[in-house]
Copies of this chain bind each other. A is one copy, B any other.
Amino acid sequence: MNTSHALNLMKPDPSKSAPLIQLKNIHLTYQSNNKKVEALRGISQDIYEGDFICVLGPSGCGKTSLLKILAGYQSATQGEIIIEGHKHVKPNAEVGVVFQHPNLFPWLTIQKNVEFSLKMARVPKMVRRKTAADFLEMVELSKFANMLPHELSGGMKQRAAIARALANDPKIILMDEPFGALDALTRESMQEHLRKIWQKTNKSIFFITHDVEEALLLSTRILVLNANPGRIEENIANPFSQSLLTKEIRDIRLSNDFVEMKEFLVSKIKGGPAEW
């Protein structure tokens, strides 16, 4: 089940043969002082339009490093990223990123934050105002458009960050444990809404998490990375991605299949803390 593509749940998929993004045999070695750390070894993966890929793995296995390479923040020691046939080397507007920390510009209102990428692209003022308003509506923040980030709660800021990434209309959105800092309840509602947005926009999403349940409740495909060196341990289509559309989340969670799948994935994530 190596590179097979999960069902795209939202729409017919005419171009199975042309992946949006290709990770080709990515290697990464950090050189710190006189020591070498092999952070990633031979990561290959195709990402298609509409894919929602969740990446699981123990702390330090290289998840963030992989995301940085995908984003163009860092270059791989070996291997390359191909987006629609072109090599991707520098950060650009095609690849959107949502960080664990909301990372909004604190001096811009929520509205202006969402408009930022449009301003960079020299979209006329009227148009970008409208676009930003639409995305704020989507993340249910219209009422807070004119506030500064520090006036909002953590969950609201994270939603604004998602709206900002979406407004830019990137080919893919990369997310690095975006809900990691939120409390359990806020987190659940954020998950629900991310699914809704993804269904509406049919963007490709590359989502890092260390919460197995979160991966099962969101993704179409799950990658499990393991450490030393970071490599793909498991690459499986999410068996629940179909039923998430039809059934109550609560029922899925209570099902035996779900609990067992969860235990299976947890057991696959090795190399946790050595101590204790």
Which positions in A face B, CB cutoff 8 Å? 58-59, 140, 153, 155-156, 159, 183-186, 188-190, 192-193, 210-212, 250, 253-254, 259-260, 263, 269, 272-273, 275-276
- For A273, the chain B residues whose CB sits under 8 A away are 153, 155, 185-186, 189
A272 in contact with B189 given A254-B259, A254-B260, A263-B254 (CB within 8 Å) = yes
Q: A190 contacts B140, CB within 8 Å?
A: no
Contact of A155 among B185, B212, B254, B276 (CB under 8 A): B276
In the complex, what residue of chain B is closest to A271 when comparing beta carbons?
A: B185
A210 in contact with B183 given A259-B259, A260-B254, A275-B155 (CB within 8 Å) = yes
- For A260, the chain B residues whose CB sits under 8 A away are 254
- For A193, the chain B residues whose CB sits under 8 A away are 276
Q: Give, as a whole number of angstroms, the nearest-CB distance from A20 to chain B.
A: 29
- For A183, the chain B residues whose CB sits under 8 A away are 58-59, 210
A275 in contact with B156 given A254-B260, A263-B254 (CB within 8 Å) = yes
- For A153, the chain B residues whose CB sits under 8 A away are 273
In the complex, what residue of chain B is closest to A177 when comparing beta carbons?
A: B183
A-B complex: 6 closest residue pairs judged by Cβ atoms: A185-B272, A189-B276, A59-B183, A186-B273, A184-B210, A183-B210
Bound CA span A211–B269, Å: 21
The 20 listed contacts between A and B (C-beta, < 8 Å) are A58-B183, A58-B185, A59-B186, A153-B273, A155-B273, A156-B275, A159-B276, A183-B210, A184-B210, A185-B273, A186-B272, A186-B276, A189-B272, A189-B273, A189-B275, A193-B276, A253-B259, A253-B263, A254-B259, A254-B263
Q: A190 contacts B259, CB within 8 Å?
A: no
Bound CA span A155–B60, Å: 14
- For A276, the chain B residues whose CB sits under 8 A away are 140, 155, 159, 186, 189-190, 192-193
In the complex, what residue of chain B is closest to A211 when comparing beta carbons?
A: B184
Bound CA span A273–B260, Å: 30
Q: Give, as a whole number of angstroms, the nearest-CB distance from A182 to chain B.
A: 9
- For A210, the chain B residues whose CB sits under 8 A away are 183-185
Bound CA span A273–B140, Å: 13
- For A186, the chain B residues whose CB sits under 8 A away are 59, 272-273, 276
Bound CA span A148–B153, Å: 34
Q: Give, as a whole number of angstroms, the nearest-CB distance from A276 to chain B.
A: 4
Bound CA span A110–B208, Å: 33
Q: A59 contacts B185, CB within 8 Å?
A: yes
In the complex, what residue of chain B is closest to A196 when comparing beta carbons?
A: B276
